[in-house]
Chain A
Amino acid sequence: MLHVTYLIILLPLVGFTVQLLGGRRLGDPVAGWVATSFIAASFLVSIGVYLDLLMVQAPVRTYSQNLWTWIPVDRLQVHASLFVDPLSMTMVLFVTGVSMLIHLYSVGYMKGDRDFSKFFLYMNLFVASMLILVLGSNMVVTYLGWEGVGACSYWLVSFWFTRESAASAGKKAFVYNRIGDAGFLLAIFLTYDKVHSLEYSTVFANIDKIGSADVTAICLLLLVGVVGKSAQIPLFPWLADAMEGPTPVSALIHAATMVTAGVYLLCRVNPLLHASPDAALVVAIIGAATAFVAATIACAQNDIKKVLAYSTVSQLGYMFLAIGCGAYEAAIFLMVAHAFFKGLLFLGSGSVIHGLHDEQDLKRMGNLRAYMPITFITFAVGWLAIAAVPPLSGFWAKGDVLENTWAAHPALWAVGVVTAGLTAYYMSRLTGLAFFGKDRWSAEVAIDAGDDLPGAHHSEGAIPEPHESVWIMTVPLWILAFFAAVAGVMAISSSRFSLASWIDPVFGANLYNDHLSSASVWALATIDGVVAVVFVAIGLRLWMTRAQRPALEAAFLRGAWYINELYDAVFGRPSERLAAFCADVVDPKVIDGAVNGVASAVRGSGALVRRTQTGYVRNYVLGIVVGTVFVLGFMLTRLWWS
């Protein structure tokens, strides 16, 4: 099946084309089923390719497929080529698999939406772009997918664009991503300048010719791109706003797949990072700082999706921390586990929001476990998994990251453990507020008037009794809950599902080896487990009983460290003033001045010259005579003196 690798990308693209041409005619729900089936077909092809890749007998299992030469310009030869190795295959499998489940869920979630088919059009295009990103064998193809997912993210965040907040959140996501993309683009230019090739294999083979300063420069430029896409400090605020999109979008794009593109890219260029310890250290520090900052913010948010959004940022920080330590396998492990449990949590929160008729405020939930048992059970699996309670997947994945950090940078390990405690705490707070305690949704409180636009927050008066979601939404929950629970088996090196034995050959000697004794591994795992259990208990104990604890929700944290206000003051306002200056001064004075100046100069000189046009024949004749005399006189004098 390896030779049909291109089908993995082509099938979602065909699905996109079908939606584009006939989506509206297919309508609700057929368009959704068609879209889902194309992703499912792509998933099946991926499994076939995966099984064939397993058959390849080599230390590093790879397969590359050159489709055509895309950009043939002199020495710049860019091929549209695909590259399959355990790293990209892992990504392909979980991208297509999770996407399929989320498409299925969306058929139920988006039911009755005005733009039902348009939603699936964007979703299919997104999956195709993500697969291009993952399977590209050179930087340009990766960049194509990179921009594709960014564009789809913009369309999907502002999907309910009649809402002011959704429209501006889309713009925000786009602008933040553009900042990152510029870094990626510069990295591509610099790489081409040094190596004269953009194929990953060629670049990695010629690393020693680049020079260490340039390697660091390339890595840091790539990091700019990655920080934008994966919402790390300093470019993370867009991800919280991106929650304005429909919940399946939050689950698919802003938790499971797109935001992990940065993690994937850094793993892909691991030889570059290995050659530049400085850049790797920067990655680790950014990761640790982001993990901690985002976790503190998540502790004080009241919007269920905002909590999960900051939690995503925090978990991505862990992945960056692992990459910075050289523990690429741990990063991929956490990424896969995170895709399962965060996808699950988002879909669970979507089920809650759906059941409560578009209510997202945690303070207006409570006691939902009595009304939504399936959502509660599956959500609880996700909650305990992300809190890293043993033996669920999060415990193994986060433990893997923290072990490597302990060996590489003990100070950052401390940050990581504190963050793990915060993670357990805020997730328990969320669960306690939503599923335990008294039902606060029945209370008659008019907070703000909800409008009738799709997906609006209805906060007026009592909410009708919540209901469990339809089977089409709960089936993906069960499947994801299963994987979120058992994905930990990938950590067991002797098991058939061992991630390490599958993916480690990709990184080879670049992979960090922590050389920890089994005693210290056990000690670290115990610390992780104890921290998780203790903070889960604290969180539940505090938030099960009471919904209002202002002391624990500092305004500073609720305002997300005022980072938006800071950017507003440093970049937003000055830009606004510059724009106002251009509008009030440059445009009317300089631009209009130039245009009007030319006009009035022509008019003025015309007014002067028109006096010569008297309309009297004799004047014209005189002009002719004088002119002739002058010309003749001139020629005669020339003749005279020559």
Chain B
Amino acid sequence: MTINADWYLALGVVLFSIGAFGVLIRRNVLVMFMCVELMLNAANLTFVTFARVLHDIGGQVLVFFVLVVAAAEVVVGLGIVVAIFRRRANATADDLHTMKG
């Protein structure tokens, strides 16, 4: 039995929306990070789906690029988070507003 491609896309939309809302409403930096990952992987799921539907290997290739970028981003991002936690215990994203104009 095969599952219709629409369901994969719908799942991608749901995952992406959860990620976006998570970034918007959560204060914990690590959770916000995970939400960003969720959004990235929702996009990946969409890529793969279209690659299958359209018989285009390019979509699958792009997923690897996204994974590499995500990994790099996590390295930098976690580095920043660790640096912040060294200076202060218990920081939320809202506490870090020194760039206020």
Contact = CB atoms under 8 A, between A and B. Distances in A.
The answer on A and B forming one complex is: yes
Interface of A: 609-618, 621-622, 625
A621 B23 CA distance: 7
Given A617-B93, A617-B96, A618-B94, A611 B24 contact: no
Nearest to A618: B24
Contacts of A625: 20, 24
A615 B23 contact: no
Contacts of A614: 97, 100-101
16 contacts: A609-B101, A611-B101, A613-B100, A614-B97, A615-B96, A615-B97, A615-B98, A615-B99, A615-B100, A617-B32, A617-B93, A618-B24, A618-B93, A618-B94, A621-B24, A625-B20
Interface string B60-101: 000000000000000000000000000000000110111111
Nearest to A610: B101
A616 B101 contact: no
A615 B101 contact: yes
Nearest to A621: B23
A238 to B, nearest CB: 64
Contacts of B93: 616-618
Nearest to A607: B101
Contacts of B94: 616-618
B24 A612 contact: no
A610 B100 CA distance: 8
Q: State the 3 A-B residue pairs at the shortest beta-carbon distance, nearest first.
A: A613-B101, A615-B97, A615-B100
Given A615-B96, A621-B23, A621-B24, 10 more contacts: A609-B101, A613-B99, A614-B97, A614-B100, A614-B101, A615-B98, A615-B99, A617-B94, A622-B24, A625-B24
Most buried by A among B25, B100, B101: B101
Nearest to A606: B101
Contacts of A612: 101
Interface string B1-25: 0000000000000000000100111
A612 B94 CA distance: 15
Contacts of A615: 96-101
Contacts of B98: 615
A610 B101 CA distance: 5
Contacts of B32: 617
Contacts of A621: 20, 23-24
Nearest to B94: A616
B25 A618 contact: yes
A607 to B, nearest CB: 9
A615 to B, nearest CB: 3
Interface string B21-41: 001110000001000000000
Most buried by B among A614, A615, A617: A617
A617 B96 CA distance: 8
Nearest to A617: B93
A111 to B, nearest CB: 76
B26 to A, nearest CB: 9
A614 B93 CA distance: 12
Contacts of A611: 101
A632 to B, nearest CB: 12
Nearest to B29: A617
A612 B100 CA distance: 9
B14 to A, nearest CB: 16
A139 B51 CA distance: 85
Contacts of B96: 615, 617
Nearest to B98: A615
B96 to A, nearest CB: 7
Contacts of A622: 24
A613 B97 CA distance: 10
Contact of A616 (B20, B23, B25, B97): B97
Contacts of A617: 32, 93-94, 96
Contacts of A609: 101
A618 B97 CA distance: 11
A359 to B, nearest CB: 78
A611 B101 CA distance: 6
A167 B98 CA distance: 63
A625 B25 CA distance: 13
A202 to B, nearest CB: 73
A611 B100 CA distance: 8
A330 B36 CA distance: 105
B98 to A, nearest CB: 6
Contacts of B25: 618
Nearest to B36: A621
A615 B97 CA distance: 4
Contacts of A610: 101
Nearest to B93: A617
Contacts of A618: 23-25, 93-94
A260 B93 CA distance: 90
A620 to B, nearest CB: 10
Contacts of A613: 99-101
A621 B94 CA distance: 13
Nearest to B23: A621
A626 B100 CA distance: 20
A616 B24 CA distance: 10
A636 to B, nearest CB: 14
B12 to A, nearest CB: 15
B85 to A, nearest CB: 16
Contacts of B23: 618, 621
A624 to B, nearest CB: 9
Contacts of B97: 614-616
Contacts of A616: 93-94, 97
